[in-house]
């Protein structure tokens, strides 16, 4: 079971996102559209156009991680 610390927020995109977007494209979206700090410990979740896939972006140990 996944249980993040209480200080971690999960931010979910309300609009579908192209799942082919690389990490740079997703971080740009987080910064520009959401006004969030991509280097925080928060989890940023993106949903595909069909709604059948999810990508989660986070910053861990000096690099970005896609789940």
Let me know: does 15 contact 50? Beta carbons within 8 Å.
no
Q: For the segment 8-46, what is each residue's pLDDT rounded down to a tens digit?
A: 889 998 899 999 999 999 999 999 988 999 998 899 999
Residue 51, φ and ψ in degrees, nearest 5? 80, 15
Nearest to 39 by CA among 26, 58, 12, 25: 58
Kindly give the residue spans of alpha helices, DSSP state H, lying in the chain: 23-32
**Domain positions in the chain:** 10-66
Give pTM, 2 decimals.
0.86
């Amino acid at each position: 079971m996944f249980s993040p610390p209480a200080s971690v927020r999960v931010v979910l995109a309300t609009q579908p996102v192209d799942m082919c977007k690389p990490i740079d494209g997703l971080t740009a979206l987080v910064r520009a559209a959401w006004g969030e700090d991509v280097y925080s410990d928060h989890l940023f979740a993106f949903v595909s156009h069909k709604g059948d896939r999810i990508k989660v972006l986070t910053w861990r140990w000096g690099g970005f991680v896609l789940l």
